[in-house]
Structure 1
Amino acid sequence: MKSRRANPFVIGAFVVAALAALAVALIALPGRHWFERPQRVVMFFSGSVFGLQKGAPVVFRGVRVGNVTDISVRYEATTDSFAIPVMAELDDDAVRGLEGRFTHDDIGHALPLLIKRGLTAQLGTQSLVTGQLYVDLDFRSKPPGVLHGGEHDGATEIPTSATAFQALKNQLESVDLRKILDDLSQIANSTRTLVAAPELRQGLQDFAATARHARALAAVLEQRARPLTRGAEQAMASVGRAGDKVATAADKLGDGADKAGALLDPQGPVVTDLQRTLAELQRAGASLRDATDRDGPLLQQSDRTLRDLSAAARALRELARTLDAQPDALLRGRQPDAPPPATPTPEPAR
């Protein structure tokens, strides 16, 4: 019987197929990221974290983005207090989603950017029955997050903020009820002492007497104030009547002012007539100036008339002299004038 040798090609193909199936299975398993490194973070809480356990979810607005890996207690000598660091691992894809990038770059810079935008951690209750807690991440501005500081073995610190219930609880715990009760007791003792003091009783009696005197004084003032009140009423009535008269006079003055305004209205008939009269007077004055001008036609005509009248007067004077010398000149006509008498020549002296 002859033995058959195994085919190396078949064996190699089988091994390669098995490795490929194993890789596909590892990648396809839900919730597992075999080739990714989670982001380590730390959160410091100052109050009780009872109910928070390892493996508790770390969520962002209801979506699970990581798990709690370790819880411890640390004493702070500088402040004489205790801090509770809670370590957690966040999924790198979830951190990239919060930062807005979905690439496979380094996410070491993503968390600081988210913290600058206001990312803080608070403790939330998973169940009121069991009291289990979880870590709630969200962007909060009030109350502001608190950073612890210091080195945290390469983990990024996320600031923490107290819930509204925790803040109220811290305020109530900070109130000194014993001191408040002592103060109330001292106030009550002081009140009892004051009430029982004889000075207070005497003061109340004096106050009652003062009240009686005040009532009596008020009655006297009321009796004496009645005539004054009547006089004031009469004076007010007189003032009212005077005010009515003044109002009537003011109304009349207003009517007169309205009429004067109507007369002095630039568009009214009175002002228009005055303007027309002034225009006519201006034209008459211009005509008079033209007539009295030395070179005007009126003065020239007057000069000619005066010259004619002067010539007529000379003619009348000559006619009068002629009729005086020759009365029949109108019938016979005018005779020539007689020669003037000869002037005797003086004899020469001997």
Structure 2
Amino acid sequence: MKPAGGVSQRRRPPLFTMSAKANKTLIGLFVLGALALGLGAIVALGSGTLFTPKLRCIMFFPNSVSGLEVGAPVLFRGVPLGTVKGIRILADPEHLKFYIPVVVEILGGRVELSGPGPKRTVETLLQARDTSPADLLRLLIRKGLRAQLVTQSFVTGQLAIALDLMPDTPERLVGKSDLVEIPTVPSMFEKLTKTLEKLPLQELVDRLIGAVTGIEALVNSPQVKRMPAKIDTALTSATTMLEAVKSQVNPLAHMLEITLDAYSGLARNVDRRADGLAAAAISAMGSFDATLKDARGALGNFQKIVNANSPTVTDLNRALSEIARAARSIRELADFLERHPEALIQGKGGARK
């Protein structure tokens, strides 16, 4: 069949022809390799957290979170445990209060156990408690777990969220989310701001201005202006006095030296005499010891003499008895002579006829 116009059209051959059919096995291997590479890249980029259990929780901040961004770290006593995933603003239409809900994602299995490793059958706190991450987090909240904004860098002003156990702080919950809520506490900057707000700044400023005014009046007073001249006069007097004292120092030093020499000689004399006195004292002590020995001997002899059974006492008693009888005889004689004085002439027998 020829087309109109008598020009015949020929069928052109294809530019490219397949020399062989595609190998299905090679294509399958290529796809599997690509999937393996993609999975490895995901695991590498995820820092090994792809298969780590995660828990999303929420915390409500009543004040500004300026400086906190999505991706900011969540720290527990300085150790990263998660990241910030969302920041919104929430309003309470009834009381016209505003909150900043911050959603964070906490990685499980980051808190390991202490003690020897070979004796443990579990490696993390979550495994040891044998509970869900949400229940473990609620238990920590009852123990005092609180969230607080902290500064990452004072240069950039970036913030992070710090978690810690603060059992002395109140458990303030908003409760407007299905996620587990971690109570928040004011940051250090907020505490400092509240402390400054309680200070009577205007009164302090007024007192400071009054103090500065008083100092200025004191500095400009005539007494202070005359003070340099008085100080100059006092310094001149002090210089004169020091010169006078200096002139007396040399004689005093000479006299002190003489006194010290005399004292040294006296000390030497005392030492020499002390030696002689010590010898005399030793000799006197020896004599005194001999005297004590003699006194002890005499005392012993006296005790022997005064003993009731000693011969001396017996003889003394006999002599005293005889003396007593003689005294009685003399007394009787005296009585008789007093009655008969003529007996001295006539005798005891009377007058002889």
TM-score (normalizing by structure 2): 0.41
Larger Rg, first or second structure (1 or 2): 1
TM-score (normalizing by structure 1): 0.41
